[in-house]
Amino acid sequence: MKIRVGMGFDVHELEAGRNFYLGGMPLPDAPKGAVGHSDADVLIHAICDALLGAANLRDIGFHFSNTDNRWKNMDSTFFLKEVTRLVHEKGWRIGNVDCTICLEKPKVNPHIPAMKKILAPLMDITEDDVSIKATTNEKLGYVGREEGVCAYAVALIQKE
């Protein structure tokens, strides 16, 4: 069996008065929302980059440019479905993803089970194959000042 790993990272500015999407779902208790061309779902964007990197398929910006109006306000679950299709087309299957979200508010942990229910089927894997962790930045930097949110993801893909 052949395996590969990929790493993804994404960051978005936070702004009051915007909806906040994370892991394919809105977080209604968020005081600010992420700014971006699409729905600015930082977690899904990091996962997409990890999967694309593992499969040597460039990055999310190459496939879904933020200058292309087709992707304006797009639900990022669409991107993850398409990335999964691209990975499968190259003969790879997703083994697992491990993610970390860096955000001061709101608390992410109560939402993790619902995010896993959304993300796992988009990647044709089980919820047990999706690890999502959350941390604050201990009030340091742009995350600590609640100016932005970032996410990291690592993905393992495999083929016979």
Residues that constitute the known binding site:
10-12, 37-38, 45, 59-61, 64-68, 135-138, 145
Long-range contacts of 28-33 (CB under 8 A, 24+ apart): 29/106, 30/105, 30/106, 31/105, 31/106, 31/146, 32/105, 32/146
Q: Which 8-state DSSP code applies to residue 67?
A: T
Binding residues for a divalent metal cation: 10, 12, 45
**Rounded to the nearest 5°, which phi and psi values hold at 120?**
-55, -50
Angle ∠(114,117,123) on CA atoms, nearest 5 = 135
Strands 148-159 and 93-102: antiparallel
Which amino acid is present at 144? G
**CA 95, CA 15: separation in Å to the nearest integer?**
35
Of 77, 55, 76, 56, the closest CA to residue 66 belongs to 76
